[in-house]
A and B are shown apart, each in its own frame.
Chain A
Amino acid sequence: MEWHPKRPGPTKDKDMDKLEKHIKDKLEERQIAPSPEAWEKIASQLSTAPQKRKRTWYPLAIAASFLGIVLVAYLFFTAESAKEMQPQVVEGNQRIENVEEIQDEGTIVQEGPIKEQDGWVENALPPQHKGESNDAVEDVLSSKERELALQTPKTPINNELEQPTDQLIALKVEEVVAQVEFLEHQKQEVSDAEVDSLLRRAQRQILTDKLFTQSGSVDAMSLLAEVEDELDESFRDQIFDALKDGYLKLRTAVADRNN
């Protein structure tokens, strides 16, 4: 079979493929021994190799440290912003704290010792302007004040509560005692339940008194406090306990006097 290089068709391609495969096989299995000096040349070049290899690590180290810096910066800024976020997260609680104080002040204002605090309290508290007031709170409240606000949980309530409501409670207790005495005059005997209901009524009156300020407007904070169940309950209980204590004291005092 004659071989025509210019013959078209698959045979030619097949031949060419075979030729190429043959060339490839032959060339790939070929080995040419290099001259003995070749390795010496390489070795002499490689004497500087350790440095070169070290140098290849520097870009990695630089890249790594750069990444580290970026990471630290990222963490730092996110932590910073997280700090800024915190007041918002705590905001709910904080408002409650403030509310508590305001409630107390609501009654204290008459005595007037906390005048200067009114400013920030007013700034801080309008709940309808949550967003703005947050900023305002941050502006006005130094972090120390904020910490104080957060650190003083319920103790101030007890202290301050007794002072403002004392007067009211004393008044109410006297009323209750008077009513009880009046009832005793009529019925000779007054049950504990009756005394309790009288005391409850007095308590409710105190609460409503607090709700409506002297100006006749509704004290928003008291209203809010009304809504805050947990707080409200303890507050009510406190008032009721104070009333009862006062009542019992007065009763014994009256009984002693009568005797």
Chain B
Amino acid sequence: MRDNTDKKQQGVNRRDFFKACAVVGVGVAGGLTLNEVLFRENETSIFIGSVNGYGSNLRDYIIRGLREISITEHDIKGKKVLLKPNLVEPHRGASHINTDPAIIRAAAESFLYLGASGVLVAEGAGHRRDALLVLEESGLADVLHEDRIPFVDLNTSDVVRTKNAGKSSKLKELYIPSDLFKADILVSMPKMKTHHWAGVTLSMKNLFGVMPGIVYGWPKNVLHWAGLQECIFDITATLKPQLAIVDGIIGMEGDGPIMGTPIQSNVIVIGKNLPAVDATCARIMGIDPKKISYLKHSSGRIGAIKESNIDQRGENIQSVRRDYQLLDYIPAQKEIRLGI
């Protein structure tokens, strides 16, 4: 286990940038176009793509989406990209729990097409210790094997201690898998789901899966005790992912993130600012982002959630909105419905 809290480092790529952020808890100027725009509070572009299902040409949708939010070959060329899907607790025959392998494959192909030097997939499943069984049951193992995409189990990797840049929870420090340093660009790839503790689980909550089980447990109970909503904010503020690509083709409504029911939304949502991505997804789900505690807390701090601050590209929200079922006996889902 390494300790980054006392070292001073500077740099121009994501790896060094990440280390620098970890040390001082603030952004670093220069070198990273994507990071420069990440935490601005002003307008940010979010792309909504309407697709027909997992059989669609998802790669073309993703490339179009990336271009719509001004990500070009220049931003990707020569960079190593880490895709972080949501594989919290796969079970055979329940594909609506996890980010679909088809969209992970499409994202990998997209970044390679745009000149990425490499793509890897990494996850630290929240409820399961057998990462390889997680890959098998989610259907991702064969995709990764066929496409020769490496996988990293973030639950068991060596870790580095960093300062908590968000400072909202009780945690002064966060322990981050050292494998994250191997990537220049971190892409959160969640499933569009309701959640029985957080209201919704999208690109920010998906980052719980980055936190190593060897330090936080199975489930990642340390984060629950430290404040679930606050930790969602803290992890995003500390990791500063550059991108989110949300699998909203088949989402989950009701008692998510595991026991809910599938719902066909047929959308992909892409953006650089995670709170803005999640706010857009919430609206697509018929949920008011201002009533989701961690999104409200993110507004003006690490991103934009007001509709007026989000430059919507592709489809408009109303044309793809499909109200996800909310359960009145789940406190986190009470009174969060977005008005018509």
- Do the two chains belong together in a single complex? no
Could you list which residues of chain A lie within 8 angstroms of chain B, going by C-beta atoms? none
Could you list which residues of chain B lie within 8 angstroms of chain A, going by C-beta atoms? none
